Each structure stands twice: as structure tokens, then as C-alpha cells.
Structure 1
Amino acid sequence: MKLKLMLLVILSMALVSCGDQTPAPKNLIIISATINGAALTDGLSGVQIDSEISLVFDASVDLDQLKAHLSLEAEDTMVPVEVLLSNAQSKAQITADLSYKTQYTLTLSVGEIGASGESLQEGFMVNFTTAEDEIIRELAPCTNLSCIETLEVEDQGQSASFDFYSSHPILLENAQWETLRNAVIVVHGQNRDADNYFTYLTTALRNTELQNNTVLLAPWFKEESDANDQDFYWNTSSWREGQPSNGHVRISSFALVDNLINILVDKSRFPVLEKILVTGHSSGGLFTHVYAGANFSQSIHSAIDFEYVVANSQYLYYPNNYRYNEQAGTFFEPSDCAGYNYWPLGFQSAPSYLNGLSPEDFNGQFAGRKVVYFLGNNTSNDGALNTSDCSATLLGSTRYQRGENIFTFMNAYYPGQHAHTRSIVDGIGHDGQGMFLSQEFSILLSEKLN
């Protein structure tokens, strides 16, 4: 009996003891630290005095506690800071009155700064130096989806807006980009997901350590549902062919990219820019293919080295009426497919952007420009492949084969004259992310931009 009572007492004490215990607050972690959308790294220089620093935590923070643990110091002098919280109080946006040519130290000390008592176990400290003057000469690349800019383009007295993602704020009037030797323009596919392609190429440039000397642009050819009253937009996929936009201002999608290039070749803004690489996947690949031959920018700006990387386009431009018979291994002129040579597969009914340019001049321009057919050889599960229209099936049996066929055509009809090459990505199919994050693309970027 005494033993039973003792056991009951021990059990009761244990239950009371367990009931009194409350879970200890978890540790708080800083997920990211950025300045104006770019990574905030120790020793960063050339920081603009109107910059905003963002610290993102894995949980909500207490504003008063955060301020108590946060300090900004310049040459042994404490600098007042303003802090705003957003994203359910998990993102701190920090600003201060900064001065030119000054080194600052931002410190967040350990302590309980979480809204529920969470503790920051690892302190954060970073040093940065502001720019010499109001001229922006260098910035770390912006790598997130806040990096969107708007270009106002005027045509015949009317203007509209063209949005694009950009690793650097190229529209700033007070910028002289002294480290940007290269530019990459990546064109989205049929889904018009410029944000995704900006992310893919951002990663690709980082993987090849080219992000600090390359400006990346990802134009967004919007459909009407994504556009406001002042935006350029296209109701159909005609943007990939260089056709005019719909809406109150009608301008070719090619002309809009020309406008971006006009900024890049401005020596007052980009004094050391040497190369421009245009690329796109699938529908973006078609845009790249026909833009390579169509654009006037390369002819006007002959001091810049232009290259074009056409990734996995199922539609490709042919300079004459002949197509390749895969089974026979010969070229033939189709007789039973009306319209197979209409633009963008041939020069018939070319867009107004090309008014004044003859087919012969266009074809010579097309053959002489440096085009890379960047082909994924996995032909399985390609539900987007057009296998019903004869004008498409004449190009080849698979997306990969269509790339091979146009390259065979160029070798046959422009031997020793064309500047086209090809590169194959083994095991990847109709997959923009897979293509641009492949080892083959890293090698290609390194070769072209170094």
C-alpha cells in the first residue's frame, strides 16, 4: 500500500513538473540582407547615399527591441536610423542620412528581438563605403524580382510604357557604369514569364562569376490582361515575330529591344561595354532567331560585338524556299503546303519593321551574324511541339531535329559564309530552366563574355 502511494505521489509530481514547462522560444535567423535589392556584403563600396537596407528574418520581430539592438556607426559616431517593418513584421527596411566618401558599420547584436521572444543567436555586422559623389559608377547586381524598370517609349507623338527586369538601374541619368563590359538580354517564352527568365540568367551569371561585369535585362512583352492603360501589349504571340503592339501606341517588339540597346551603347552611361548577347528559349528563341537577322542596332553600333543564342525554338527562319528531308538527307522545295514560307519561317509578309530591306539584304545580314543554335537533345514529352501544321512539320520531326536541320541548311547553302554554330545540351528537352542552368550554357557564357 505504501509503495502504491509513493508511486502516485512521484507520478503526480512529474505531471505537475511537465505541466509547468513551456517551450523555449526558437532562435531567430536572418534569411537575407540586401541593399537596394542587391546582396549586402561586407566591404561593399560605391553605395549611394539614398540607399535602403533590408534585413529579412524567419519570423516576426519586435520593432522596439530591433531598434535597441541595431546601430549604424561612421568613424566612431553613431548615425540615427529609421526602421520600418513589413511582410508580417519579418522584413526590416533601414534608412539613414548618409554622406559621400564615408565608411559605415551596421551592427545588429544578439538578443531577444523576436515578436514572441525569439532570440537572435548570431550577431550581424557589415561594413560598407558610400560613393565618392552623386555619380554612380558601380553597384552590386540586383538579383530579386523587385528589379523591374519602366522605359517610356514615344512614337508619332504618343508614348507608352515598356517594363523590363534589370540587374542594374540603367535608366539613371547620373550613372557611368565603369565595370559593366557585357550585356545579356534574355527573352521569355510563350508564357511571358520574364521574371522566371531573369532568375534563370541571374543564376547562370553567378555560376560563371560574370554577374559583376554583366548587366542583365529581361524584357516583358505583356498580354492585355497584365497591362495597364499606358503599357505596350500584344493580344497574340506576334511579339515573338517583331510585329507591332496592340493598344494606343503600335510599335514593333524588335524596336522596343532596339530602344534598350540604344541605352546600353551610350558611352556616357556604359563607357566600357563591349558585348551584347541576346538569347531566348522556345518562343523567346524564335524572337532571337529573327531579331538576329532583322535588327538595325548591330549595323548602327558596329563597335559592339553582338551574339545571339537561340535555345530550343521549334520555329526557325529559312532564307529560301527549300526544306530538309530527314529521311532522304536532301533538300527539296515543298509543293503542297501553302504559306510555308510566310514570316517568320520565310521572308514573305515580313513585319513593317523591315520595310525598305530587301529579302537579299536581310538574308545576307542573317547569315553573317553570330548565331548559336543551343539545342536540348531530349525529344520526349514535348506537348508544345506543333505537329499539325505542315509549315511546322516541314522544319523537322522534333524540336531538336529542327535545330539540327536549320544548321545543316546553313552549311549547305552558305558554306564558308555564315557565322552560325550549334551547341548541344545532352539530356535536356523543352525546359528553359534546364537549358540555361546547364553546364553547357555556363561554358558558352564563359566563352562569349570573357
Structure 2
Amino acid sequence: MNRKKLIKSIQLLFLSSLVLYFTGCNEDDAVSGSLKVISVKLNDAPLENNMQNVPLSSTFEIVFSAIVDPNKFESAFFLMAGAENIPYTVEYLNQSTKVLINVEDMALATEYTIGLDSGNIGLEGKVLTTGVAYTFTTAAGNVKTPCLSASEDCIQQLSFMDNADQPLSFEVYANHDFVDDPEFVWDFIDKVVVVVHGAERNADEYYGYMLNALESVDMESTTLVIAPHYQDDSTAPTDGLVWNDSRWREGANAGNANASISSFTVLDTLVNRFSNLDKFPNLKTVLIAGHSSGAAYTQHYALANQVEDAHPALNFQYVVANNQYFYYPDGQRYDEGAGTFYEPMDCAGYTYWPYGYEFAVSYLDGVDAATLTAQQVSRNTIYLLGSDDISTTGTLNTTDCQATLLGSNRFARGENMFTYMETFYTSTHNHRKIIVPNVAHDANGMFNSSEFKQYVMEFE
């Protein structure tokens, strides 16, 4: 055989071998009905078992040796954190031989398992004979250990200056050191809950009530909880802001000499601090809640403050629980017997602050009544009413006509305020009423009720 014929024979043999190889593979797949996973990737890089610091939003790619049936694939696929199934979306590419799984908003520092059970998931009965599974852990992100004790360890101090440039302080309970650590980026916080104490000024107890409520619905890890403490001379530190009467709940200035600092200014300072989106880049909701005297504070702050309009990207919510002192934008009051509104003629001062606009606190200097009305109507206000808060003894004001015109008891006063909004601002108000059955004048009972928890979970 000459050289040329030898080369040609070798070439023919090589080509025949290639044809036989590929034909054999195809015939083998057809006979066996097998389906194989060729590759698995995470964000365009090979996925390895026990990978760490996986981004909270990620894309997984699985490539198969043949076409998969989407319905069968999704029955066999799993993505879990412990026993919990995690939501995802799926895309099918290359005639369904490539599958993309998109996952968003996974939890920080959490172990997940992703995989595919063996079985018939391909077209024409092709079977994945060997399943696959990988574990991975998401990125830890910024981590802070929360303070949950309602003790001095959880106290943060805000700083103010009086009119003579002397320092004054104000204490708040908080589950994170957002004041003492101004450089930290709180990227795991998406909600702030401010809870305002009642007449007993027991901010520590209110702090505990709210923490318990949030922990019971697994919301404490992403929520900054703050309980401001409006103190008097008997409890305040030497340089502390003090309010020696109950007018802290109405926005009055502190009683310190040379101080023109409203109780509402304190909350403005807090809001402006945690509304800094450079430090709280994922904050979405600010919920301010108060009970009893704290509810009066919350209702008046909701309609009076200017900081909400300065932060349009945030969803502000105001929870007014078992209040007895309401602001009305005009002289209409509800006659419970007649079931109608009317203007009283025999109660001097019933439109004075905090019941109405006249003689309002200095915090509102330069703000007219029409502006207050527009803010009151438009702002998200929730009347959280204990169905059993109907006592007319104790601290309920039943002697002053300005108060009694609001209703016969706290429950009725809340009902009447909501009825006012429904009557005069039917289609424009952003107010809600939530009744908590079988609870009286009890802050812990209100904030740890299933009704309040269900409301809070709307913002999860």
C-alpha cells in the first residue's frame, strides 16, 4: 500500500470511529433514557458545596444533557432554609436544557439547601438517575447584637443645646446603638417602631411590651425599636430635658431654663437621624405608636410634625391606642345620644389646644389651621381601641367639658374620632379603626394582641 492510500485509510478509520462514538452515545441515551446534570452555577461561577457569603439575591443555573419537562422539573426541585420552602422564579433557556432559578431577599447569615431529586424529569421519559444537592450560607452583612433587656444597657442619649448653648440630653431605650455608633450602616433594618409611654412614664416597660410583640412574629431582627423617655425632675439626669407636668404629650416645651425644645422636637430629631438613607439604606416604614397619654402624644404629633413631608420615600404610620384627648380640626363634636355632629355652645375652651387649633403650642408657630387639617386627614392614623376600655373612673377626665365632649369613655372617644373622619372626609382620609376585643386600658394587652400583631405584619 502506498503512502497516500495509507493516510486516506487512517482518515477514514478515524472518521468512522467518531461517527460510531457519537451514534453509540445517542443510541445509549435513547435506550437508557438517561438525563444528566452537566453543570450547576451560582451567579455565573461554578457552585460548590458549602459556599459562604452568597449574596441575598442570586441566580442559580443548571444545565442538562437533554430537554427537561418544566412541570416535572419544578416538582423535583427544592430550595429550603431548614424545613421552610423558599420562593423563587424559573426561566427555561436553550429549548429547556438550561434552567435559571432566581432568588431574592434571602435572610442574612442563613444556611440554605438547593437541589434536585432524581426521577423522570425529562421529555420522552428521560430519567435523572442521580439527584444533586448543595448547601450554602448567605452573607452575614453588618451584624449587631441587639439589646433586649430594658435596662440601662439599652439606653441611648440624644444631645441638645439650650438657648445659652449649654448641653442637654434626652434618653431613649433602643435595641441597637444607633446614636452611639453613628458610622455604622444599618442595612438590615427595614422598619423603625417608636413606642411612647403613658402617664406613668414607664418607657422601660413599654419598650419590653413592643419587643415581645415583635419577637413573637419574628420581626425583631429587622426592626429598630425605640422608646423615648419623657422624664421629670425626679428621674432625669442632671443635664436631662424635663417636663414636670403632663403637657409633654401635647408638644409643649421642656421645663428647663433657657430651653425652647418641644417634646415633638425630640421625636423630629429621632426621625431625622434614622431617616438618613445613607445610614439606613433599606428603611421603608416608620411606625409611631402610643398608648393612653402616649396615644395623645402620637395623635397630635401625627398631625403637627413637618418631618414626614421631608422624607417622602418612607411610609409613616401612627398608632393611637386607647386615647382620651383628641384634636378636632373644627368645632364639631359627636352627640352619642342623637348619633349626629353638632357645635356645642356652652363649653368655653373646647377648641383650645390640645382639643383644637386655638392657642397651639409654640412648636406650631407659623403653621396655620388649614395645614394642620390637611396633614391630619392625609396621614396614616390607626385608632387601636380596646373594646373593654369603657371605665369612667380612674384617670379618665369626666369633669372638664372639653374632654367629656369627646365621648363618654376612651373607647367611645376613639370611635367618635373615627366617625368624624368617615363623616366629613369620607373619601380623602387615611385613617383606620382596629378593635381589640376583651382588652381594657392595658398597654401590654393592646400591643401584644393578635390584632396589633396582624397589623404590624403588613409591613414585613
Aligned to 1:225, what secondary structure does the other structure show?
Answer: coil
Equivalences for residues 5-404 of structure 1 within 5 A: 137-144=142-149, 145=151, 146-156=153-163, 157-171=165-179, 172-248=181-257, 249-381=259-391, 382-404=393-415
Q: Distance in 2 between matches of 1:362 and 1:158?
A: 33
Name the counterpart of 2:11. Answer: none
1:183 shift after superposition: 0.2
Match of 2:417 in 1: 406
Once residues 302 and 283 of structure 2 are traced to their aligned partners in structure 1, the CA distance between those partners, rounded to angstroms, is: 19
Q: For the Cα contact (< 8 Å) 1:143–1:202, is it kept in 2?
A: yes
Query: In structure 2, what is the Cα distance between the partners aligned to 1:189 and 1:319?
Result: 24
State whether residues 318 and 346 of structure 1, in contact with CA within 8 Å, keep that contact through their aligned partners in structure 2: yes
Larger radius of gyration: 2
Question: Distance between the aligned counterparts of 2:266 and 2:272, measured in 1?
Answer: 10
Distance 2:406 2:227 in 1: 28
Amino acid at match of 1:247: N
Cα deviation 1:142-162 (Å, max 9, x = unaligned): 111221111111244332100
- Number of equivalent positions: 317
Give the Cα–Cα distance (whole angstroms) in 1 for the partners of residues 390 and 301 of structure 2: 29
Superposition deviation, residue 268 in structure 1? 2.4
Q: In the TM superposition, what is the alpha-carbon distance from 1:138 to its structure 2 partner?
A: 2.4
In 1, the alpha carbon distance for the partners of 2:390 and 2:290 equals 21
Q: Provide structure 2 residue ranges, at least 5 long, that are not aligned to the other structure.
A: 1-52, 54-138
- Deviation string 1:278-297 (CA, Å, 9 cap, x unpaired) is 00000000000010001111
TM-score normalised per structure 1: 0.69
Q: Given residue 419 of structure 2, which amino acid in structure 1 is its aligned partner?
A: T
CA shift, 1:176, in A, is 0.5
| Partner SS state of residue 220, structure 2 | coil
How many angstroms does 1:269 deviate by? 1.6
Is the 1:181–1:275 Cα contact (8 Å) retained in structure 2?
yes
Question: Which residue identity lines up with residue 374 of structure 1 in the other structure?
Answer: L
Distance (Å, rounded) in 2 between the aligned partners of 1:331 and 1:445: 33
Give the C-alpha shift of residue 228 in structure 1.
2.6
Q: CA deviation at 1:173?
A: 2.2
Could you tell me which of 411, 417, 428 is aligned with 2:428? Answer: 417
For 1:158 and 1:365, locate their aligned partners in 2 and report how far apart those are by CA, in whole Å: 34
CA distance in 2: counterparts of 1:155 and 1:244, whole angstroms? 11
Is 1:395–1:402's contact at 8 Å kept on the other side of the alignment? yes
- Alpha-carbon distance in 1 for matches of 2:387, 2:176: 34
Amino acid at match of 2:438: G
2:441 aligned partner, one-letter code:
H
Q: Tell me, yes or no, if structure 1 residue 444 matches structure 2 residue 455.
A: yes
Pick which of 174-183 and 374-383 moved more.
374-383
Whole-Å separation in 1 of the counterparts to 2:457 and 2:407: 31
Q: 1:140–1:212: 8 Å Cα contact kept in structure 2?
A: no
5+ residue gaps, structure 1, are 1-44, 46-130
Give how far 1:380 is off: 4.9
**Does the residue aligned with 1:224 lie in a helix, a strand or coil?**
coil
What percent of counterpart residues are identical? 42
Alpha-carbon distance between aligned partners in 2 of 1:328 and 1:138, rounded to the nearest angstrom: 58
- 1:165 partner letter: Y
Shift of 1:415: 1.4
Matched-pair contact (CA < 8 Å) for 1:166–1:217:
yes
The superposition leaves residues 198-222 of structure 1 with CA deviations (integer Å, 9 ceiling, x where unpaired) of 0000000101111001000000000
| Structure 1 range deviating more: 181-190 or 170-179 | 170-179
Q: Deviations over 1:235-278 (max 9, x none)?
A: 10010000000113230000000101111011222111111000
Q: Distance in 2 between matches of 1:231 and 1:155?
A: 11
Contact 1:138–1:178 (CA under 8 A) maintained in structure 2: no
In the superposition, the TM-score normalised over structure 2's length comes to 0.67
Query: Contact (CA 8 Å) 1:240, 1:283: kept in 2 or not?
Result: yes
